[in-house]
């Protein structure tokens, strides 16, 4: 089966269907966009809760003994995660032109960056846990819930990218006319990146303002 | 099932046979569990939500029995707490929304001229999750472990300290579990209505019911996350000692209420909106004319969806409101009066200008208008501060929101059940039986809830398991209880009517009502493929439109048969211009397996079997990977995902 396979058999009559793929936004694209919209609302509620509790808490935030969060590591994490959107774009554009090698190398690069991010987050947790945990107080609860939930999203995104990579390596699954899933996963990954920027601002920068 | 549909002219016997082969399923047990047919899933939603309605209704009857006389001892205070909590929670979450989504599942693809939902497997998954989450919650009741802190579960009362045991864990986990289903269904509705409309069904020809469902789905997408975050925090606080709601650890109890009502405000509209959509769908058939003011109604639907979020703002800036519980209902019902007033006037105009056919569905529509308007009126009364101090958390509030919810959701649903029964089952209902049921339901509803206004005004608080004998309380409480039994008998007759129709009902023709939308252009019940030829739409009332029928006759030679696979047509978002044909997924057990893995996950979280939960989480991930793994079917080369 060639990648440029026809669309519909028997396209006769007045309204012949286009044979150029893709036409318009696919159902899968809309599905992913809606999913991302509801997930974004979820993060908005989490970050809203952060600010709500913070302003109810009193002047000392983060509470005594915890101190304003270190900035270096989160900035490095940002420098790792945000650029990881680029190889995804590169991969997606590549496969649109039927260049499987671009798809594969781009996805592999993204995986590498994403995994680095998670590794950095693990070391950050290891440090932080020495000072405070989820049960220390509301600040700790918020910190671990929000960053942990985002980390989970990175993990899910990595799983999806790994899945694409595996499917592509298995041979022939994606091509110039068959890249919707790549596009949809890309949307999700960009979203995960963007949320991180909001988290960076909320958790790491805002207490220093 | 009718297996011998005569093909429309121009469609060959082979086409029809191929369609039947691609879309039909073998009637085996495996076929039953693996179906992704939106009509079957819709029917299951309706039956399951109906079942949960019966359970919640029985809980209400027990409460009313207990409250019939002062100082009765039918149930203990603890049991009473669980009864009203399960009643409210189940009515809101397990009955109202799923029931309306059941109508949506059955009808949306038919009304827009598609062969299935955009994501059929996701649709099946959503149903199984709904079923499992509902059973998960109800199963706690016989063990005395059901939620016991009302349907809005305020902390600190629902916190671990004040409320040990599993009760509120069941609530938090159950609603999180259920939320997966509601979100999945909402995404599916939006995408289906955007991408699968029949050619020619531009946005200004979309049936009002579909508009209502889509607007509802949008509200769910943006409202439900707040409830999910809330419940996740509650569970973490209770089980793992976090401090989101715990003032001694820097948390705040009001956070619960804020997040809850960010969801809860739109939720009233989420429940009432699709019900209003049913009314708009039922009216044309029984007034013999299109609903007056289509663009106005669409505008009002869209503005309700937006206003429901405007109320968030009111909520986020309001500081520590102690009586949120009812300012919710009052704010909601005050604002809803404007756009829903528009709709009510449009319906009244329709009835005045049309020729009324007083069949059972229309009776329920009239019952709805009367009851809903009364409910809106008592809602407006809360705006008077002095009055509102008097009735806070009294039975007046209970009366008010049952007028809104039963009037605004249950009556339209009953109208819908009678209206679409012929389409869903292929059988006609018994008219006289239906009328009897209607009058009992209508009278029972008012006899039950009208007196609640009175003893509410006399000061009887809600959520009390019993009361001392007081002038003005005893007699009216007894009346309420008698009314609730009347109502129960009426609802039982509705059920009898459905069973009677299934057993004895006259076979229904495709279009017994001369309805105006496309579902009436199919067989009753529809074939698995819905339409032999995907219709072309030329107006707002395609089933009344000769051109649409003509397009089916003539179009038989064109590309709208798509019999060479399990296919439907994808069209453009705004003007429904054909884009391509897509291959739809086959039946599969994966949705059931995935929902089952989630059930194991949530159950083991409930009982703190964390290793099992971890294994279940891995099983969930593995199932999703298998589900999405691209098959090597040649059709997949078309760039179809789903
Ligand atoms: C079928 C007949 C019904 C009867 C006889 C009934 C009866 C009652 C009663 C007596 C209460 C008050 C309990 C108390 O405060 O002590 C109550 C509460 C409630 N009912 Fe109903 N009800 C019915 C239907 C419904 C429906 C259809 C809905 C929603 C769709 C609903 C939603 C609620 C809610 C949300 C509460 C508040 C629960 C709470 O306080 O947390 N009810 N009902
Ligand atoms: Cu409010």
Cβ contact B413:B407 at 8 Å: no
Write down the pLDDT at residue A199: 97
- CB pair distance less than 8 Å for B559 and A28: no
Crossing angle between the packed helical segments B167-195 and B590-606, to the nearest 10 degrees: 150
List Cβ neighbours of B96 (8 Å cut-off, separation of 6 or more): B271, B405, B409
Place of tokens 């939006």: B190
Q: Which atom of ligand 1 is nearest to the CA of B483?
A: 5
Q: Which range (A171-185, A194-208, B284-298, B559-573) has the least confidence?
A: A171-185
Write down the pLDDT at residue B329: 56
Domains of chain A as residue ranges with CATH: 33-208 (1.20.120.80)
What's the mean pLDDT in B326-353?
A: 78
> Where does the pLDDT of residue A9 fall: very low under 50, low under 70, confident under 90, or very high at 90 and above?
very low
Helix (H) or strand (E) holding B129: helix B120-138
Write down the pLDDT at residue B161: 92
In terms of Cα–Cα distance, which of B163, B184, B198, B189 is closest to B82?
B163
Helix (H, G, I), strand (E, B) or coil at A44: helix
Most confident stretch, A4-8, B128-132, B532-536, B566-570: B128-132
pLDDT higher than 60, residue A3: no
What's the mean pLDDT in A205-209?
A: 88
The β-bridge partners of B427 are: B507
Burial of B143 (0-12, 13-18, 19+ CB in 10 A): exposed
What's the mean pLDDT in A46-68?
A: 89
Closest-CA residue in chain B for A50?
A: B244
> Where does the pLDDT of residue B334 fall: very low under 50, low under 70, confident under 90, or very high at 90 and above?
low
Query: What gap in Å lies between CA B350 and CA B457, rounded to an integer?
Result: 37
pLDDT higher than 80, residue A12: no
What ipTM was reported for this prediction?
0.92
User: Which residues have CB atoms below 5 A from the ion given as ligand 2?
Assistant: B 315, 327, 331
Pairs of residues, one from chain A and one from chain B, whose beta carbons lie less than 8 Å apart: 186
How does pLDDT run across B509-534, given as a tens digit for each residue? 999 998 999 999 999 999 999 998 88
Crossing angle between the packed helical segments B208-240 and A27-57, to the nearest 10 degrees: 40
- CB pair distance less than 8 Å for A178 and B642: no
Cβ contact B451:B409 at 8 Å: no
Across all residues in chain B, what is the average pLDDT? 90
List Cβ neighbours of A131 (8 Å cut-off, separation of 6 or more): A65, A66
Query: What gap in Å lies between CA B497 and CA B199, rounded to an integer?
Result: 38
What's the mean pLDDT in B402-406?
A: 94
Compare B3 and B132 and report the one with higher pLDDT.
B132
CB-CB neighbours of B479 under 10 Å: 18
How does pLDDT run across A84-113, given as a tens digit for each residue? 999 999 999 998 888 889 999 999 999 999
Cβ contact B186:B221 at 8 Å: yes
> Where does the pLDDT of residue B383 fall: very low under 50, low under 70, confident under 90, or very high at 90 and above?
low
pLDDT higher than 50, residue B319: no
What's the mean pLDDT in A16-25?
A: 55
Phi, psi of B199 (to 5 degrees): -55, 135
Write down the pLDDT at residue B12: 81
> Where does the pLDDT of residue B1 fall: very low under 50, low under 70, confident under 90, or very high at 90 and above?
very low
CB-CB neighbours of B610 under 10 Å: 10
> Where does the pLDDT of residue B306 fall: very low under 50, low under 70, confident under 90, or very high at 90 and above?
confident
Place of tokens 């205070």: B77
Query: What gap in Å lies between CA A155 and CA A114, rounded to an integer?
Result: 8
Phi, psi of A180 (to 5 degrees): -60, -40
Q: Measured between alpha carbons, how far apart are the two ends of chain A, in Å? A: 59
How does pLDDT run across B21-56, given as a tens digit for each residue? 999 887 889 999 999 999 999 999 999 999 999 999
How far apart are the CA of B327 and the centre of ligand 2, in A? 5
Q: Is the peptide bond before A62 cis (omega within 30 degrees of 0)?
A: yes
In terms of Cα–Cα distance, which of B476, B329, B297 is closest to B404?
B329
Write down the pLDDT at residue B111: 97
- Ligand 1 binding residues, C-beta < 6 A: B 57, 60, 63-64, 84-85, 87-88, 91-92, 95-96, 150-151, 398, 402, 405-406, 409-410, 448, 462-463, 484, 487
pLDDT higher than 90, residue B237: yes
Query: What gap in Å lies between CA B570 and CA B573, rounded to an integer?
Result: 9
In total, chain B counts a number of residues equal to 642
Place of tokens 């003539």: B554
Q: Measured between alpha carbons, how far apart are the two ends of chain B, in Å? A: 28
Query: What gap in Å lies between CA B521 and CA B535, rounded to an integer?
Result: 9
pLDDT cut 70: percent of chain B above it: 92
CA dihedral (B385, B387, B391, B395) in degrees, to 10, reads -130
Q: Which of B559, B617, B632 would best serve as a mutation to test chain A binding (most A beta carbons within 10 A)?
A: B559
Residue A181 CA: distances (Å) to CA of B181, B465, B641: 22, 55, 7
Helix (H, G, I), strand (E, B) or coil at B492: helix
Task: Please report residues of A whose CB lies closer than 8 A to that of B558.
Answer: 12-15
Within B378-448, strands assigned E span none
pLDDT higher than 90, residue B71: yes
pLDDT cut 70: percent of chain A above it: 88
Q: Locate all alpha helices (DSSP H) within B466-609, ordered by sequence.
A: 474-504, 546-554, 590-606
pLDDT higher than 60, residue B440: yes
In terms of Cα–Cα distance, which of A172, A159, A129, A156 is closest to A1?
A172
Write down the pLDDT at residue B339: 82
Query: What gap in Å lies between CA B24 and CA B3, rounded to an integer?
Result: 10
Residue B125 CA: distances (Å) to CA of A13, A33, B33, B119, B128: 38, 19, 11, 10, 5
Query: What gap in Å lies between CA B144 and CA B163, rounded to an integer?
Result: 13
How does pLDDT run across B134-183, given as a tens digit for each residue? 999 999 999 999 999 999 999 899 999 999 999 999 999 999 999 999 99
Closest-CA residue in chain B for A137?
A: B249
Cβ contact B387:B251 at 8 Å: no
pLDDT higher than 90, residue A150: yes
pLDDT cut 90: percent of chain B above it: 73
DSSP-derived letter for residue B635 is G
- CB pair distance less than 8 Å for B573 and A25: yes
Burial of B503 (0-12, 13-18, 19+ CB in 10 A): exposed
CB-CB neighbours of A90 under 10 Å: 18
Full DSSP string of A109-151: HHHHHHHHHHHHHHHHHHHHHHH--TTT-HHHHHHHHHHHHHH
Cβ contact A80:A120 at 8 Å: yes
In terms of Cα–Cα distance, which of B308, B322, B351 is closest to B257?
B322
What's the mean pLDDT in A31-58?
A: 94
Task: Tokens for B456, please give them.
Answer: 């509410």
In terms of Cα–Cα distance, which of B639, B533, B535 is closest to A23?
B639
Helix (H) or strand (E) holding B580: strand B578-583
Nearest to A52 among B186, B255, B557 (CB): B255
Write down the pLDDT at residue B313: 53
How does pLDDT run across B109-118, given as a tens digit for each residue? 999 999 999 9
Cα atoms in the Cβ-side hemisphere of radius 13 Å centred on B43: 16
Task: Tokens for B593, please give them.
Answer: 């397996």
């Amino acid at each position: 089966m060639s990648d440029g396979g026809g669309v519909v058999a028997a396209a006769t009559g007045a309204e012949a269907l286009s044979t150029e793929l893709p036409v318009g936004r696919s159902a899968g694209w809309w599905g992913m966009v809606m999913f991302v919209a509801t997930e974004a609302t979820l993060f908005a509620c989490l970050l809203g809760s952060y600010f709500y509790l913070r302003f109810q808490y009193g002047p000392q935030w983060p509470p005594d003994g915890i101190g304003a969060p270190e900035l270096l590591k989160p900035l490095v994490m940002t420098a790792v995660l945000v650029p990881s959107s680029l190889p995804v774009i590169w991969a997606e554009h590549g496969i649109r032109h039927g260049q499987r090698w671009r798809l594969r190398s781009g996805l592999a690069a993204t995986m590498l960056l994403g995994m680095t991010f998670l590794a950095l987050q693990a070391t950050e947790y290891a440090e932080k846990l020495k000072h405070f945990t989820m049960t220390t107080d509301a600040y700790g609860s918020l910190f671990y819930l929000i960053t942990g939930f985002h980390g989970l999203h990175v993990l899910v995104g990595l799983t999806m990218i790994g899945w694409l990579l595996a499917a592509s390596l298995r041979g022939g699954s994606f091509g110039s006319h068959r890249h919707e899933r790549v596009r949809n996963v890309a949307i999700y990954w960009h979203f995960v990146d963007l949320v991180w920027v909001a988290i960076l601002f909320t958790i790491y920068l805002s207490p220093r303002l | 099932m009718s297996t011998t549909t005569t093909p429309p002219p121009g469609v060959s016997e082979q086409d029809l046979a191929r369609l039947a082969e691609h879309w039909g399923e073998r009637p085996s047990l495996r076929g039953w569990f693996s179906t992704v047919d939106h009509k079957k899933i819709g029917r299951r939603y309706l039956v399951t939500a109906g079942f949960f309605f019966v359970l919640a209704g029985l809980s209400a009857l027990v409460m009313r029995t207990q409250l019939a006389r002062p100082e009765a001892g039918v149930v203990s205070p603890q049991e009473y707490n669980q009864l009203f909590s399960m009643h409210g929670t189940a009515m809101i979450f397990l009955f109202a929304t799923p029931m309306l989504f059941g109508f949506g599942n059955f009808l949306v693809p038919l009304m827009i001229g598609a062969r299935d939902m955009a994501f059929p497997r996701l649709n099946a998954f959503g149903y199984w999750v709904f079923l499992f989450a509902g059973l998960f919650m109800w199963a706690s009741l016989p063990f005395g472990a059901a939620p016991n802190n009302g349907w809005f579960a305020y902390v600190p009362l629902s916190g671990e300290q004040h409320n040990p045991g599993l009760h509120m864990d069941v609530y938090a986990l159950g609603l999180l579990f259920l939320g997966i289903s509601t979100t999945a269904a909402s995404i599916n509705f939006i995408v289906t209505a955007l991408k699968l409309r029949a050619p020619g069904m531009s946005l200004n020809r979309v049936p009002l019911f579909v508009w209502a469902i889509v607007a509802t789905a949008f509200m769910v997408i943006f409202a439900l996350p707040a409830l999910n975050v809330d419940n996740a925090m509650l569970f973490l606080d209770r089980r793992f000692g976090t401090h989101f709601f715990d003032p001694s650890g820097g948390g705040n109890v009001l956070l619960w209420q804020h997040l809850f009502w960010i969801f809860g405000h739109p939720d009233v509209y989420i429940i009432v909106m699709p019900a209003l959509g049913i009314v708009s769908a039922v009216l044309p058939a029984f007034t013999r004319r299109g609903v007056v003011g289509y663009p106005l109604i669409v505008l009002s639907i869209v503005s309700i969806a937006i206003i429901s979020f405007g109320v968030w703002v009111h909520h986020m800036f309001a500081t520590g409101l102690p009586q949120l519980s009812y300012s919710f209902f009052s704010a909601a019902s005050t604002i809803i009066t404007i756009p829903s007033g528009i709709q009510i006037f449009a319906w009244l105009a329709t009835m005045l200008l049309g020729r009324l056919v007083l069949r059972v569905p229309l009776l329920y529509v009239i019952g709805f208008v009367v009851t809903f308007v009364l409910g809106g009126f008592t809602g407006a009364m809360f705006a008077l501060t002095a009055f509102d101090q008097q009735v806070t958390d009294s039975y007046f509030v209970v009366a008010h929101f049952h007028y809104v919810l039963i009037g605004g959701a249950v009556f339209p649903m009953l109208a819908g059940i009678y209206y679409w029964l012929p389409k869903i089952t292929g059988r006609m209902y018994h008219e006289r039986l239906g009328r009897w049921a209607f009058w009992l339901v209508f009278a029972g509803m008012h006899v039950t809830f009208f007196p609640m206004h009175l003893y509410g005004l006399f000061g009887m608080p809600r959520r009390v398991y019993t009361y001392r004998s007081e002038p003005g309380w005893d007699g009216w409480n007894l009346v309420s209880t008698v009314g609730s039994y009347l109502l129960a008998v009426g609802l039982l007759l509705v059920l009898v009517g459905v069973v009677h129709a299934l057993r004895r009902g006259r076979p229904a023709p495709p279009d017994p009502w001369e309805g105006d939308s496309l579902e009436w252009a199919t067989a009753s019940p529809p074939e698995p493929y819905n339409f032999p030829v995907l219709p072309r739409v030329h107006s707002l009332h395609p089933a009344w439109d000769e051109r649409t029928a003509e397009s089916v006759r003539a179009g038989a030679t064109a590309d709208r048969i798509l019999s060479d696979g399990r296919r439907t047509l994808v069209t453009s978002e705004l003007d429904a211009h054909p884009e391509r044909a897509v291959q739809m997924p086959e039946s599969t057990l994966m949705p059931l397996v995935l929902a089952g893995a989630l059930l194991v996950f949530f159950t083991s979280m409930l009982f703190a079997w964390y290793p099992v939960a971890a294994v279940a989480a891995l099983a969930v991930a593995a199932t999703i990977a298998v589900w999405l793994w691209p098959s090597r079917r040649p059709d997949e080369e078309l760039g179809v995902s789903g």
